[in-house]
Amino acid sequence: MTRVIASSQPVQEGVPVADYRVNLLGLTEQKLTDFFLGIGEKKFRAIQVMKWIHHHGVDDFSQMSNLSKALREKLQQIATITAPEVLSVNTSADGTRKWLIRLEGGSCIETVFIPGKGRGTLCVSSQIGCSLDCSFCATGKQGFNRDLEVHEIVGQLWLAARSFDSLDPCKKRVITNVVMMGMGEPLLNFDNVVDAVNLMMADNAYGLSKRRVTLSTSGLIPEIDKLGDRTDVSLAVSLHAPNDELRNTLVPINRRYPINDLLAAVNRYLQKLPDTHRRATIEYTLIDGVNDSLDHAKQLAEVLRVVPCKINLIPFNPFPGTGYKKVKPAQAKKFQEYLINAGYITTQRTTRGDDIDAACGQLAGAVNDKTSRSRRFSAHQATYIDEPIQIQ
């Protein structure tokens, strides 16, 4: 169960008191029910409190007017509703908004809102940094610090929705979609991510449709096989290459879980879903001269025949120190047209938020790297980057 240190508890002089309160922001309905039963209260209190937190954005028990005064006081002693701290908010000329969020331990993550026609998508992080080191990814170059707690994951949605005054399900939603595509590999933080996405989809919490919450993975087969037993979130796979030889260089986890085995696992996941028409999304970052030829498109069309899917093409966003370049627009168009003609629904993501470094693959935050990868990367690239990535 997620806990935070209670700052308001009495401290005996010279003796640090390890007093903890439960952070209710990260509890699923079942866990919140268990919490209330555990403190001798009725289970319907769980739904009342969930609605205060997730529908009304309330983080102060004294405002929960349908709870008795005695219960409100009791909750103030043993529980808290605490989201991570927002350090800064930047809004791009195109409406993209980026929050820089500091977490316990001092590292920072980034959460990005991308407005679109009739929709608003929030890109949420699941880890501080990432251990998988995909060669085209700015997050991967920052190394890894730790997994996010449930309240830190769902707290990104809570903070963003509150800033738009968009929590109340009776009002028009500003954030209509969530993609777990920020910093980190979500399936390496399996239990916390599952609880967080289930909260995002729960009617008594944020109430998003399961088609509008997407978990994006680089392809961890054992976790994909477990996922369908715990949630029915939409699944995206960061493929980025149509054959194992190339994918081994772009997404190193492919050496353990090659493409055909991965796509078979995606099929097993889709077959577990109650809604039989669901497709996976295949994410494919187009990198100039690396994976963007028509031969690559042809291979991709062939390899994907085994799985119901749509394809999302993402022009690579260069970051300091990368050796890769952005795909040429004409080549991206040809690549897309080939796949459409081959029968695939294929979209191309428009680059948004360039002026605030919020485009895909640019999320970096400030990671207290425990892996030393960021230092090795900076040293390796020092000959051609203007400024090394800052590590705090």
Interface with ligand SF4 by CB under 6 A: which range of 54-62, 128-136, 257-265, 321-329? 128-136
* Site mask for ligand SF4 (CB under 6 A), range 231-250, x = bound: -------x------------
CB of 86: closest distance to ligand SF4 in angstroms? 22
**Exposure string (b/e) for 97-125, b if CB count within 10 Å is 16 or more?**
bbbbbbbeeebbbbbbbbbeeeebbbbbb
Among residues 110, 149, 185, 223, the one annotated as catalytic is 110
Answer yes or no: are the C-beta atoms of 53 and 31 closer than 8 Å: no
Other beta carbons less than 10 A from residue 82's beta carbon: 19
Tell me which residue of 250, 198, 252, 258 sits closest to 27, measured CA to CA.
Answer: 198
Structure tokens at 102: 């500091």
Hunting for tokens 């979209």 — which residue is that?
347
Structure tokens at 144: 């890894």
Could you say whether residue 133 binds ligand SF4 (CB under 6 A)? yes
Query: Which residue lies nearer to ligand SF4 by CB, 57 or 219?
Result: 219
CB of 141: closest distance to ligand SF4 in angstroms? 8
In whole angstroms, give the CA distance from residue 371 to residue 142.
9
Answer yes or no: are the C-beta atoms of 135 and 321 closer than 8 Å: no
Interface with ligand SF4 by CB under 6 A: which range of 98-106, 130-138, 170-178, 343-351? 130-138
Query: Burial of 229 by CB count in 10 Å (0-12 exposed, 13-18 middle, 19+ buried)?
Result: exposed
CB of 137: closest distance to ligand SF4 in angstroms? 3
Among residues 123, 130, 137, 360, the one annotated as catalytic is 360
Could you say whether residue 321 binds ligand SF4 (CB under 6 A)? no
Catalytic residue status for 41:
no
Could you say whether residue 134 binds ligand SF4 (CB under 6 A)? yes
Could you say whether residue 389 binds ligand SF4 (CB under 6 A)? no
Of 26, 84, 120, 140, the one binding ligand SF4 (CB under 6 A) is 140
Phi-psi region of 320 (alpha: psi -120 to 50; beta: other; left: phi over 0): beta
Could you say whether residue 312 binds ligand SF4 (CB under 6 A)? no
Query: Which residue lies nearer to ligand SF4 by CB, 84 or 184?
Result: 184
Catalytic residue status for 360:
yes
CB of 238: closest distance to ligand SF4 in angstroms? 6
In whole angstroms, give the CA distance from residue 334 to residue 159.
40
Could you say whether residue 218 binds ligand SF4 (CB under 6 A)? yes
Could you say whether residue 107 binds ligand SF4 (CB under 6 A)? no
Could you say whether residue 220 binds ligand SF4 (CB under 6 A)? no
Structure tokens at 152: 């830190």
The secondary structure element, H or E, covering residue 36 is helix 29-38
Could you say whether residue 2 binds ligand SF4 (CB under 6 A)? no
How far from 145 is each of 106, 108, 183, CA to CA, in Å? 10, 10, 11
CB of 215: closest distance to ligand SF4 in angstroms? 12
Of 23, 80, 107, 139, the one binding ligand SF4 (CB under 6 A) is 139
CB of 365: closest distance to ligand SF4 in angstroms? 11
In whole angstroms, give the CA distance from residue 318 to residue 195.
33
CB of 84: closest distance to ligand SF4 in angstroms? 19
**Residue 313: beta bridge partners?**
284, 348
Question: Total number of residues binding ligand SF4 (CB under 6 A)?
Answer: 11
Number of H helices, E strands in the chain: 11, 15
Residue 301: phi, psi to the nearest 5? -60, -35
Identify the DSSP state of 287: B
Query: Which residue lies nearer to ligand SF4 by CB, 218 or 346?
Result: 218
Could you say whether residue 123 binds ligand SF4 (CB under 6 A)? no
Residues in the chain: 392
Could you say whether residue 147 binds ligand SF4 (CB under 6 A)? no
Query: Which residue lies nearer to ligand SF4 by CB, 123 or 194?
Result: 123
Residues at the site binding ligand SF4, with contacts judged by CB under 6 A:
130, 132-134, 137, 139-140, 184-185, 218, 238
List active site positions: 110, 360
